[in-house]
């Protein structure tokens, strides 16, 4: 049975409540990177749902998307080194973990 996704993470012996449901999360070079559930964002515009935080829970960046389409949203991580995530528009995106900028995209459909 699938369990409901929680809206908190366990980071360095502490629970972080980030206020939204989480699809995926990772720790890369001391940066907590979270992909929030895109269903919790307004549907008529792009869900900017990959967000990075430092270990003091301060927001560092929101990741770029490869298109300007409203249905462009991140779904899950593919790898952590390099940091790669796939998005709803069928792009495999390599993301700079320091800035949230896109390094490379590959269309996979």
Token digits of residue 25: 């999360």
Average predicted confidence (pLDDT) for the chain? 91
User: Could you tell me the CATH number of the domain that includes residue 80?
Assistant: 2.40.10.480
Residues, the chain: 109
| pLDDT tens column, 27-80 | 999 999 999 999 989 988 899 999 999 999 999 999 999 999 888 999 999 999
Nearest-5° angle of CA 103, CA 20, CA 56? 70
In a domain, 2, yes or no: no
Q: Total domain count for the chain? A: 1
pTM of the model: 0.91
Token code pair at residue 22: 């989480």
Q: Is residue 27 one of the residues assigned to a domain?
A: yes
d(C-alpha 54, C-alpha 70), whole Å: 28
Q: How many CB atoms lie under 10 A from the CB of residue 14? A: 10
């Amino acid at each position: 049975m699938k369990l409901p996704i929680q809206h908190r993470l366990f980071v360095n012996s502490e629970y972080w409540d980030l206020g939204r449901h989480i699809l995926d999360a990772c720790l890369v070079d001391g940066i907590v990177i979270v992909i929030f559930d895109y269903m919790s964002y307004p549907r008529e515009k792009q869900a900017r749902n990959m967000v990075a935080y430092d270990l003091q829970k301060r927001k560092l960046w929101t990741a770029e998307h490869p298109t300007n389409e409203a249905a462009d949203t991140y779904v899950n991580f593919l790898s952590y080194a390099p940091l790669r995530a796939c998005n709803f528009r069928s792009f495999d995106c390599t993301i700079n973990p320091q800035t949230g900028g896109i390094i490379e995209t590959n269309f996979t459909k």
